[in-house]
Amino acid sequence: MSATVPDGPALNKEIWKIYREFFDLAERRRRWSLERDIPWDQCNPNTSRAVADVVESFCAVELFLPDYVGKALPMTRGIRGRAWFLANWGYEESKHSLVLQEWLVRSGARTEAQIEEISNWAVVGEWHLPADDVRGMTCYTMCQELATWLHYRNLRRIVGETDPALNKILALVSIDERAHYDFYLKVMKLHLEDDRAGTLEQLKRVLNGFSMPATHLLADSAKRAAAVRSLNIFNENLFYADVLVPIMDALGIEKAELRNRAMQKKSLPAPTP
């Protein structure tokens, strides 16, 4: 499969159906308003510095949106379900960076000038596609969306009721991330039906080298990754238990299937964010 050739008319038709279900559900249940749905008067100015730093990191990762959409969209030309999904996905992801940025300023954790500085990182570094065809991208993005959901869910558990505004933001964003994962999970099932061995090969490659997008491009990237680990938001064990195992269960993949194909690897990967 090349980057420009659509992956089969029957498969594409199914992806379109998945997209329509995704879109209809999003319109019916998942649309939220940055202005109306966040209790902005309940931002806690005393929310810990560690939490604010992590929110800043998440916000910065979401700022690479022009790369995420701009580089993936040409690959989906001719595959309407994928292209329309990406357009809708871009809208939702754009709200994520906006709402996190809004919380950083309204809570007093960052000034407008600091936000300006953060925004610039996203144009200095450039994110590159982790795979060169739509199936490889499906493997990566499926894992990444579930891992992203996990980041937000775990941060929300830490915040609890201490900051009702941030709590609500993290609830809304994590629901979006879960819906993104669900779309890619359904597309992955089609790929596995279509070509199980080839798809598993690509999934194995993604799992062996998995890392969260753009984190290495941020200023103080090592410190930021360490902060996420120290708050127990994301680490190798959590990736295994809450990303890899649920994905394998949902797709009906046995550990042995990935191991058998993993030429020299004896164990499953130990990725870092």
Residues in the site for Fe ion, rule: CB under 5 A? Answer: 93, 96, 145, 177, 180
Nearer to Fe ion, 234 or 262 (CB): 234
Nearer to Fe ion, 14 or 93 (CB): 93
Cα–Cα distance, 91 to 65 (Å, whole number)? 10
Nearer to Fe ion, 96 or 268 (CB): 96
Nearer to Fe ion, 56 or 93 (CB): 93
To Fe ion, the closest distance from the beta carbon of 62 in angstroms equals: 5
To Fe ion, the closest distance from the beta carbon of 148 in angstroms equals: 5
To Fe ion, the closest distance from the beta carbon of 214 in angstroms equals: 12
To Fe ion, the closest distance from the beta carbon of 70 in angstroms equals: 16
The tokens of 228 are what? 């996420």
Cα–Cα distance, 176 to 224 (Å, whole number)? 23
Using an 8 Å Cβ cutoff, are 63 and 115 in contact? no
To Fe ion, the closest distance from the beta carbon of 215 in angstroms equals: 13
Nearer to Fe ion, 14 or 145 (CB): 145
User: CB neighbours (10 Å) of residue 264?
Assistant: 4
To Fe ion, the closest distance from the beta carbon of 146 in angstroms equals: 10
Nearest to residue 146, comparing CAs of 223, 54, 238? Answer: 238
The tokens of 82 are what? 């994928």
Cα–Cα distance, 269 to 244 (Å, whole number)? 10
Alpha carbon distances (Å) from 150 to 3, 12, 233:
30, 29, 8
Scanning the chain, the segments in alpha helix (DSSP H) are 9-25, 49-62, 65-72, 80-106, 112-124, 134-159, 164-194, 196-208, 221-230, 236-239, 245-251, 255-261
Nearer to Fe ion, 156 or 262 (CB): 156
To Fe ion, the closest distance from the beta carbon of 173 in angstroms equals: 6
Cα–Cα distance, 18 to 63 (Å, whole number)? 27
Nearer to Fe ion, 96 or 204 (CB): 96
